[in-house]
Structure 1
């Protein structure tokens, strides 16, 4: 039986913190599916297709990673992927509180899905997609590359032109 897990998020844009969780998670399982969430109620910087493309490009060096777009409940997506583990990255105690609530809700929706938390490496604990959106117009390319994969910098520049 292969070990398959799913890591979901909006990845708007993907950050070095996300990439760190993807790389570390990929070593724990045979296959990691990165689910790029599409939330119609949320105003995103990048389209779902652009986000999938950026995640694929950024993760191309990790052989056992597959990237897919999804909408709706994460637990349903996990089940559709024939997986029973969802990976969540946690940066802070504030994240933990939010993730704990979501995990309890997910257990009610599908008790067969387990959530595994990976703590962010300390160098990424402050990095968020929201932070990237705030600093992009003020930071240089080298500064942005401290927070996002190099492949993402040109895409951010294009959005902020």
Structure 2
């Protein structure tokens, strides 16, 4: 079985993330969407909330599983018997950083491959940070995130 991991903070999950997850699920037997637990990073949503939102928005995808992890991705890959890391690229500026990370992961485990996917053009500007900023001004994010995420954002921003 060809198992791929798509990791990130997903704070919150956007249509750009879903674009990569959906397309990855068509290529690989199983895609594990793994939320990174990073205590140093200030997140709007808790890890549990992010996992829950991801489960809601990927519920129709039979070969997608949602999980969380801390530590090195390469260690998580070994634990889950995964061979491929899926990384989405929005612009050339993403590539330099992602190339460094992929090279280090290859050094740590030569059996793991990184699969880069260009995001669809309509999401090339989209990031979780931009979504949070737009939502903080009470502007509509309905074209940026799935309805469940929009509702969660509104609740966070107004609560």
Tell me the equivalent position of 1:63.
62
Question: In the TM superposition, what are the counterparts of 1:1-161 in structure 2 within 5 Å?
Answer: 2-140=1-139, 143-161=140-158
Report Cα offsets for 1:102-139 as digits up to 9, x if no partner: 11111111111100001000000000001011110224
Q: TM-score of the superposition, structure 1-length normalised?
A: 0.95
Q: How many Å separate the matches in 1 of 2:110 and 2:142?
A: 40
Q: TM-score of the superposition, structure 2-length normalised?
A: 0.97
Q: How many Å separate the matches in 1 of 2:50 and 2:81?
A: 23
Flag structure 2 segments of 5+ consecutive residues without an equivalent: none
Flag structure 1 segments of 5+ consecutive residues without an equivalent: none
Q: CA RMSD in A?
A: 0.9
Q: How many Å separate the matches in 2 of 1:128 and 1:54?
A: 16
Q: How many Å separate the matches in 1 of 2:42 and 2:90?
A: 23
